[in-house]
Structure 1
Amino acid sequence: MRSWPEFYNPWLSIAGYCAERVYRDEEVDLDRFLDQFQAPNGSIANSPAASAFFLLETERRGQAIVPERGARLRQYIHSRTPESIGYLDHVPHFVTAWSVMFENEVEHPLAHSHPAIAELCRELAHPSGLLCTVGATTIPGDTDSTACAMIAARIMERPTPATSSLDRMFDASEGAYRTFYFEHDLSLTTNIHMAGLLDLDGDRDRLAMLLAWLDRQTAHENTTCKWHLSPVYTMGEMARVLASVDHPVARSLAAVAARRLLNTQNGDGGWGHHGSTTEETAYSVLGVASVMRHGLVTPDISPALAQAHMFLTTRNPELTPLWLGKTLYCVQPLVPILRTVATQRLEQL
């Protein structure tokens, strides 16, 4: 990747986010790297670990860096709290876009007038064509975050860039989208969300290619997304998003996902790959409810949903780390939103 002409371009390159790999790599130009990937808060790409390893490499080489930049980098690192810090220091657009999408599943969604909405829509106009979950920083945007943000903006009837701005991320040999440049194994949920966006655009040809790719993946029992520990998230999103896509393959995939979810409900009424959690139960509920709304589930599943309602309403939401980054983490603001929306959706059935 170092030979790539865009290696030092923070709009396209994940080198800053992965700056742990700079340690003991003599070929990296540290001054140029710091100039390009230092974020406004002094970090390297808003990543505590990347920041620490970059600083260690400067010390290992005995290389002086611009004093003001070095001071800001050290201040950032020394102000972190190891017991509570995540692999990124914040992910505001993630919470905003996903919240809008999930809240849209209920009949009377919340009003969306928070300043974060306006900021999300502004970031969609980034010159790279990709939105980053962390906002204005030195991590490139990604296809999944951009697709979800575009869907959220359209829900709110805000202007969005053309979906064709994501064409550069389409891998024609696979018939699916990469999330980042140089991605080796493509993501299921990135492409589920892209299918939803392509359906909104009416791009039937690209949608058909993408659905064929998703069909091949599920035929091989590939039900786990690289960004999440639990297959419940993947199946929940497949059911929720694809049930509303007017295409026979999409409807078939949504129905298959719903059946898999119903077959894996836990005895306590919840869902969870390693024991029931609020987050996983909410994904399942929203997926199954979407499939029900579109008439794609034939058996009576009222008892299963009644159990799910009992699970969601009789216990406090736990903040289980299920998302996969450099470590497991929980998007904490999203969990209570998921619980509220899933509960409301069940009560509207």
Structure 2
Amino acid sequence: MRSSAYLRLAVDELLRAEDSQLMQSTIYDTCWAARLTTEDGGMAYPHLLPWILDRQQADGSWGSRVPYTHDRLLSTLVVVVLLARFGHRRDDQARRIAGQRYIWRHTDKLEQDTYRTIGFELILPNLLEEGRELGLDLPYTQLGHYEDEREKKLSLLPRERLFDTWTTALHSLEAFAGRIDVEGAGKLLQEDGSMAASPSATACFLSQTRDWRERHPRSTTYLEDLLARGGGLPPVSPHDIFMRAWILYYLHYGGLTAEHAGALKPHHEHLMKAWRPEGVGFSSNGFPDSDDTAMTLLALHRAGYEVDGSCLLAYESDRNFASFERERDPSVSANLHVLEASETMPEGDRARVREKILGYLMRARHHGTFWRDKWHASIYYPTSRAMMLLPSYVPDEMEETLRWLLHTQHVNGAWGQHGPTDEETAITLLALLHHHRTVKPLPQEPLSRAASYLAANERPFKNDYHELWIGKTLYAPAFAIRAAVLSALSLYGDTFGEEVF
């Protein structure tokens, strides 16, 4: 496959970009840095306050452009607390009151979200406690049950042991603000100075001491380097494994790997160097998980490296595969990725693994049609993944999903659960094109409209997309979204012999 000159340049630009340029900032993480003070009590980074205020939504909230209540409520609450401490102008207070009004009006809508954001039941009670101390008018009674949930969750990881060893709970360290064993937590900082690769957790850790610059210079440098690269802070950093694995995944399906072999080689070498017998996480020094491990195995296997996927078997449970140890809810997309990577497992395990995952996936489908996922706010993310993979296993079970995808396309050619977005359009188009090429021909007209929508919105160096990925709040990994867009456009052009640029 040979793509257009524009697509070749755009993919090359994506592959050569610095990691820090490819993850959008979040209000939530930036607020934790904005809370840091100098020894005299002033804001250490006062320039962050205007950046945060400029991003208030019309309804008084802060957060993603997608109306996901867990994201909006938590993002708004952390800004409201920040303004109660540092927003001294009349306009600041008016914005704070509008944010509080949003929280009151939307508390009862939390149950409408299928999945909570990460650590929500841990972080929210701590912020509410702080709001109460500041005398803020907030729905404490209505949200009081999260305190009970918090205690139940903490019973699985006793607080007295939290700072003895490195666990995934450290990624949400801000949930323990005011109760942190600073000495113990300091010993768990990563080499780059971060707390579990989380800018918000790192900023919270620093906030526990007045002389944080002198006591923790590496953590200070970690935050300030990130702030120097763009307006606010990203939700995770580093994310070198996550970035590379997802880019390589999409470029593979877009048929873009062969003509970019030279630019891809350093990424494969980076993944190979970071590989550990137990697998990998979203960063080279991160906690391993099945999702990033499966995606990395796929990238290396497809590039011709010898890899052993037996490490994925450590995530196997009775009915599915977990993402992490002690996981409450399984992830559809992670199970799909493990299924796809099962070809790298020992041959004797493959049939059992595939049968188990397929059973879980078919039980998890809603109305026999679509899927939902704990890592993504859109049903199109797991459903498009399923559409790409499952026809080769259960061909007779996917017709309803195919009809649903074609039927839910917007008039302008896009797809989107909460409104048209580049990402949902790209991943759906990519799945339908793959189906068209490998299973049966589909009508060109809806695919053409989708490609036209993407082409009209595409521009060089684009890194501003709707926040749909579920972390502590919603976020947008621009690298994965851009890779999906470029791959979908490339595959469309190759499928129908049309250049879209």
Give the TM-score normalised by the residue count of structure 2.
0.60
- Between Structure 1 and Structure 2, the one with more helix by share is 2
Query: Counterpart of 2:297 in structure 1: which amino acid?
Result: M
Q: 1:200 to 1:169 in 2, by over 3 A?
A: closer
Separation (CA, whole Å) in 2 of partners of 1:105 and 1:118: 20
SS in 1 for 2:365: helix
Conserved 8 A contact 1:106-1:345: yes
Which residue of structure 2 lines up, in the alignment, with residue 86 of structure 1?
Answer: 234
**Matching of residue 2 in structure 1 with residue 157 in structure 2:** yes
Query: Counterpart of 2:268 in structure 1: which amino acid?
Result: I
Q: 1:16 to 1:145 in 2, by over 3 A?
A: same
Q: 1:135 aligns with which of 284, 304, 323?
A: 284
Which residue of structure 2 lines up, in the alignment, with residue 31 of structure 1?
Answer: 183
Which residue of structure 2 lines up, in the alignment, with residue 301 of structure 1?
Answer: 443
Deviations 1:93-116 (A, max 9, x none): 222111212111244533153423
Separation (CA, whole Å) in 2 of partners of 1:228 and 1:336: 16
In the TM superposition, residue 220 of structure 1 has moved relative to its aligned partner by: 5.4
Which residue of structure 1 lines up, in the alignment, with residue 176 of structure 2?
Answer: 22
Deviations 1:216-266 (A, max 9, x none): 0004566221111111111111112333x4x23xx3455443332212111
In the TM superposition, residue 290 of structure 1 has moved relative to its aligned partner by: 2.0
Conserved 8 A contact 2:320-2:335: yes
**Matching of residue 197 in structure 1 with residue 348 in structure 2:** no
Query: Counterpart of 2:385 in structure 1: which amino acid?
Result: E
Separation (CA, whole Å) in 2 of partners of 1:120 and 1:47: 21
Which residue of structure 2 lines up, in the alignment, with residue 326 of structure 1?
Answer: 472
Which residue of structure 2 lines up, in the alignment, with residue 224 of structure 1?
Answer: 372
Query: Counterpart of 1:328 in structure 2: which amino acid?
Result: L
Which residue of structure 2 lines up, in the alignment, with residue 180 of structure 1?
Answer: 324
Query: Counterpart of 2:451 in structure 1: which amino acid?
Result: H
Give the TM-score normalised by the residue count of structure 1.
0.83
Query: Counterpart of 1:289 in structure 2: which amino acid?
Result: L
Deviations 1:257-286 (A, max 9, x none): 333221211111111122222211110011
Deviations 1:114-141 (A, max 9, x none): 42321112222x25x13121222xx312
Which residue of structure 1 lines up, in the alignment, with residue 60 of structure 2?
Answer: none
In the TM superposition, residue 288 of structure 1 has moved relative to its aligned partner by: 1.1
Separation (CA, whole Å) in 2 of partners of 1:323 and 1:73: 26
Separation (CA, whole Å) in 2 of partners of 1:95 and 1:32: 31
Q: Aligned Cα RMSD in Å?
A: 2.7
1:139-288 correspondence runs (5 A): 139-160=286-307, 162-172=308-318, 175-199=319-343, 201=345, 203-219=350-366, 223-243=371-391, 245=392, 247-248=393-394, 251-252=395-396, 254-288=398-432
Query: Counterpart of 2:243 in structure 1: which amino acid?
Result: V
Separation (CA, whole Å) in 1 of partners of 2:356 and 2:182: 42
Of 143-152 and 309-318, more deviation after overlay is shown by 309-318
Conserved 8 A contact 1:195-1:242: no
Conserved 8 A contact 1:309-1:346: yes
Deviations 1:11-60 (A, max 9, x none): xx2022121123233xx643233212x1222221221211122233456x
Separation (CA, whole Å) in 2 of partners of 1:107 and 1:83: 35
Conserved 8 A contact 2:256-2:490: no
Query: Counterpart of 1:17 in structure 2: which amino acid?
Result: H
Separation (CA, whole Å) in 2 of partners of 1:119 and 1:310: 35
Separation (CA, whole Å) in 2 of partners of 1:143 and 1:68: 38
Query: Counterpart of 2:483 in structure 1: which amino acid?
Result: I
Separation (CA, whole Å) in 2 of partners of 1:207 and 1:320: 33
SS in 2 for 1:230: coil
In the TM superposition, residue 322 of structure 1 has moved relative to its aligned partner by: 1.5
Separation (CA, whole Å) in 2 of partners of 1:42 and 1:242: 42
Separation (CA, whole Å) in 2 of partners of 1:238 and 1:217: 11
Structure number with bigger Rg: 2
Conserved 8 A contact 2:333-2:385: yes
Which residue of structure 1 lines up, in the alignment, with residue 253 of structure 2?
Answer: 105
Of 255-264 and 325-334, more deviation after overlay is shown by 255-264
In the TM superposition, residue 147 of structure 1 has moved relative to its aligned partner by: 0.3
SS in 1 for 2:377: coil
Separation (CA, whole Å) in 2 of partners of 1:24 and 1:260: 49
* Identical pairs, percent: 23
Q: 1:195 to 1:308 in 2, by over 3 A?
A: same
Separation (CA, whole Å) in 2 of partners of 1:19 and 1:285: 39
Separation (CA, whole Å) in 1 of partners of 2:447 and 2:321: 34
